[in-house]
Amino acid sequence: MRDSAFIARLMGPLLLVNALAILVNRKGFQEMISGATRNPAVIYFAGLLTLLAGLLIVEFHNVWTLGWPLIITLIGWLAIIGGIARTMFPARMAVIGESIVSRERLMVGGAVVSALVGGFLTIRGYNLTP
The string of DSSP letters for 9-59 reads HHHHHHHHHHHHHHHHTHHHHHHHHHHHHT-HHHHHHHHHHHHHHHHHHHH
Residue ranges per domain, the chain? Answer: 2-124
The pTM is what?
0.90
Instruction: Enumerate residues 6+ apart whose C-beta is below 8 A from 108.
Output: 22, 23, 26
From first to last of its 130 residues, what are the pLDDT tens digits of the chain?
A: 678 999 999 999 999 999 999 999 999 988 998 888 889 899 999 999 999 999 999 999 999 999 999 999 999 999 999 999 999 999 999 989 888 888 889 999 999 999 999 999 999 999 886 5
